Structure 1
Amino acid sequence: MEIAKRQDEAAPSRAGRIWQSVRDSVAAALSGPRLQLASKAGLAAGLAFLIAPLMPGAAAQYPYYAPLGALVAMYENVSGSMKQGVQTLVGLGLGIGLAFMLVSVSDPSPVTVAVVMGLGVLLAGLPRLGVGRDWIPTAALLVLLVGGDNPDDFSFGYLLQMGVGVVVGIAVNMLVFPPLHFKAAALSLAELRWALAKQLSDMGAAMRETWPPEHEDWAVRSEALAQSARAVRAAVQKADASRQANPRRRLHAHNLDRDYNDLRGLESVTFHIQDMTEVLSDVIWEKDAPFVIPLPYSEPLAEALVAVSEVLRSMEDEHPDKQNELIAAAKAAVDALADRMASDDVNPHAPSAAESIVLNLHRILRVVRAGQP
């Protein structure tokens, strides 16, 4: 098939994919948010280790667990730090309790270790434990083997120092520039809107070219658009999570409900544009396609595609009055073509794919109007 052939030709080489993956990984590791998180993790671990010797009783003998607790609680947002820290402490408590049950009836042995690990893994299957599930067998094994003849003191020191570290980690994450990802969410929404508008304008340009058109990049973008929509949803959800329990949210007001509305609208628009992309690609390159686009409809269909593209572009920074003008012009172009197709009898022997494209354009305009403030 022609579409598959073009997708294969557009696919990068294996070496190129590996290089791209390495470059993206390094860039992600050295990104601003990651460097900020690393700095705060280092600060929290240092503070926890400073405080650890001040703990009462036998807990002061295990200061190295405090920075570990700080690292465990360090997350990209405050609410995540709290959730992860609490889950870890719950997991530790369950693991320590499990170890005590077995220590009270038997000394450490290969059989005891096997039983502890098996029961720990079973308990890790409890719901809502999150990262805490990984600490159940770990804590049980440490109490069993490291606690030695004095498991009481070790368990007390282990749990207390980890708790101190968790508290320090949460406090540092909350007080030292807790991140808000509102700008990233807004930028990702704008980028998706621009990509969708470009897809429509490129398809409009294809309608005006001699077929097969010279420019065909638009024909293999369908999956890329879907991936972009998924990335935008992840960005909006990340922004939502970043505001929870974040003291800076009061200083940086942002309407995330509006972002979610825009996201749902753009996801719907993406679906309709994907459908149009597949339809138009089949009409152009599939020899046995059961439908056609009659030549008299090519120019008005191109105008309608470009008009709706301009509507999407205007939603980013144009004045509402200008947006309304563009929406009215696009609706007039789509309605005029729909009325013409309803009255014409251009090619009675093959169904017109133009009808499917016009229907999708109409639905896109309906989504845009519903999403206007």
Structure 2
Amino acid sequence: MSRMRANLRDWRATVLNRHRMLLAAKTAVAAAIAWAVVPLLPFVNNEYSYYAPFGVLVVMYPTVAATARTGGQTLLGLAIGIGLGVGALGATEYFDIPPVIPLAAVVAVGVLLGGIRHLGAGRDILAVAAVFVLLLAGQAGADDYPLSYLVTMGVGVVVGLVVNLVVVPPLYFQWAGGKLTTLRETTGGFLDTLADHVDDPEPAQVDAAVAHLDAMTDEVRREVTEADDSARANPRGKRHLREQEDNARRLHSMEQTVAATRDLAEVVAGRNPAALEDMTDTARARFAEAIRACAQLTDTAIDDDSLDTRLRDANDALEAYLNELPSASVTSSTKAQRIEPAIFLRRIIDASAPFASADTTDGPAPDTPSG
């Protein structure tokens, strides 16, 4: 039951968020406008006006830049496909060959041309356009089909771009910032869990949490990239440069934190036995305290007044852990492995340090244990 509620919350967050609803409303308006405009155009058969709303659907993306990019690629792919279909139709009539031969040739060539990466979204429509022209333009009274097809789709593309640009051009910095906050809180919670399992590792639980964290990081990276994309060709973008810069810094920090947390999880899960070998009970306790201090630091927002204090606490906890490391590790051949947990903790602390005051960023370097 709880799983169903969680899935329902995820569905609502994905489908019924305000950005998606705005996109749906703008797409509907653009499709209606495109449908109404096409009959007013000269040299276009109204019979094919349904391609105009289809053009809107093809190019209506959450960001203005993506809509413009996709629109250009779609029209280019469409033009190439129409040209291919017209050429195949002419060859069929000139050489009087069975239609199945040019059909197979058009499909094969269209699929091959679809491998051109620079065509982007146009790759998907190229072969389809060629087949449509070959099959439909050859019908009686359909000589104007290729031009009508291209123009009506073009109308849809242009209307979609204009509507997306004029009607509340979207910016996703706040949305991406919220995703970064969720990632930060999740990572802090996972570190707290690791601290609880220093003496009682549960590899399966750790693996599941790491996989979830990696998937969330990939999702957040995409959200931040889309937010950056939303500022391109957007008249509102220049007013939000600070948010864009903050998100970029936060993403860089979280990528470092997640990477170090993943490495730390390998230690806690027992996959690097030498790292915890010969560690006293006191050292293990200090290790857990250092992880928990890093969890609290990671869980602190960059504009939180307590960030400086928690950064100092994390540095102090790391130093206390270093002081409790067994002195045997100084001369042991496994010294590098035994110092690794401190290195991972240092990286987590360093990832948050740029957001704190300059006088709180100095901390112990995990070189040689002093105890």
**Given the superposition, is the C-alpha separation of residues 21 and 47 from structure 1 closer, same or farther in structure 2, using an over 3 Å criterion?**
same
What amino acid is the match of 1:323?
A: L
Q: TM-score, normalised by structure 2?
A: 0.82
Q: Give the Cα separation in 2 of the matches to 1:100 and 1:141.
A: 10
Distance change in 2, residues 1:162/1:155 (3 Å): same
Alignment equivalent of 2:291, drawn from 305, 310, 316: 305
Distance 1:87 1:123, change over 3 A: same
Q: Does 1:244 align with 2:235?
A: no
Q: Give the corresponding residue for 1:89.
A: 75
1:76-112 deviation line (CA, Å, top 9, x unaligned): 2111111111111111110111122223332272222
Q: Provide the residue aligned with 2:179 in structure 1.
A: 188
Distance 1:22 1:334, change over 3 A: closer
Q: Which residue of 2 aligns with 1:70?
A: 56
The equivalent residue for 1:338 is 322
Q: Distance in 1 between matches of 2:314 and 2:12?
A: 44
What's the counterpart of residue 268 of structure 2? 280
Contact 2:183 2:217 in 1 (8 A): yes
1:269 matched to 2:257? The reply is yes
- Identify if the C-alpha distance between structure 1 residues 323 and 25 changes in structure 2 by more than 3 Å, giving closer, same or farther: closer
Matches within 5 A, 1:43-82: 43-82=29-68
Count of residue correspondences: 351
Counterpart amino acid of 1:318? D
- Identity score, percent: 32
From 349, 356, 364, the counterpart of 2:340: 356
Instruction: State the TM-score, normalizing by the size of structure 1.
Output: 0.81
d(CA) in 1 for partners of 2:173, 2:276: 47
Residue from 197, 201, 204 that aligns with 2:192 = 201
Preserved CA contact (<8 Å) 1:182 1:254 = no
> CA contact under 8 A between 1:283 and 1:291: conserved in structure 2?
no
Aligned partners of 1:277 and 1:262: how far apart in 2?
22
CA contact (8 A) 1:88 1:132 kept: yes
AA partner of residue 163 (structure 2): V
Stretches of structure 2 lacking an aligned partner (at least 5 in a row): 358-371
- Rounded Cα–Cα distance in structure 1 between residues aligned with 2:218 and 2:41: 47
Q: Which consecutive unaligned segments of at least 5 residues does structure 1 have?
A: 1-14
Mapped partners of 2:326, 2:275: distance in 1: 22
Q: One-letter code of the match for 2:153?
A: M
> How far apart are residue 198 of structure 1 and its match?
2.1
- Residues 160-169 or 140-149, more deviating: 140-149
Q: Structure 1 residues 310, 151: CA separation in 2 closer, same or farther (over 3 Å shift)?
A: same
- Pick aligned residue for 2:310 from 313, 322, 326: 326
Whether 1:234 aligns to 2:222 is yes
Contact 2:206 2:269 in 1 (8 A): no
Q: 1:180 aligns to what SS in structure 2?
A: coil
Letter of the structure 1 residue corresponding to residue 135 of structure 2? L
| Matching of residue 162 in structure 1 with residue 153 in structure 2 | yes
Aligned AA (1:54): L
Report the CA distance between 1:61 and its aligned residue.
4.5
Q: For residues 16 and 114 of structure 1, do their structure 2 counterparts lie closer, same or farther at Cα, with a shift above 3 Å needed?
A: farther
CA gap 1:25/1:308 in 2 versus in 1, 3 angstroms: closer
Amino acid of the residue matched to residue 85 of structure 1? G
Q: Does 1:124 align with 2:114?
A: yes
Structure 2 CA distance, aligned partners of 1:149 and 1:203? Answer: 73
From the superposition, tell whether residues 109 and 20 of structure 1 become closer, same or farther in structure 2 (CA, over 3 Å). Answer: farther
Give the deviation of 1:268 after TM superposition: 1.6
Range 23-32 or range 306-315, more displaced: 23-32
CA distance in 2, matches of 1:157, 1:282: 67
Change in 2 beyond 3 A, CA 1:27/1:296? closer
SS in 1 for 2:22: helix
Evaluate the alpha carbon distance shift between residue 264 and residue 292 of structure 1 in structure 2; reply closer, same or farther with a 3 A threshold.
farther
Distance 1:70 1:219 in 2: 43
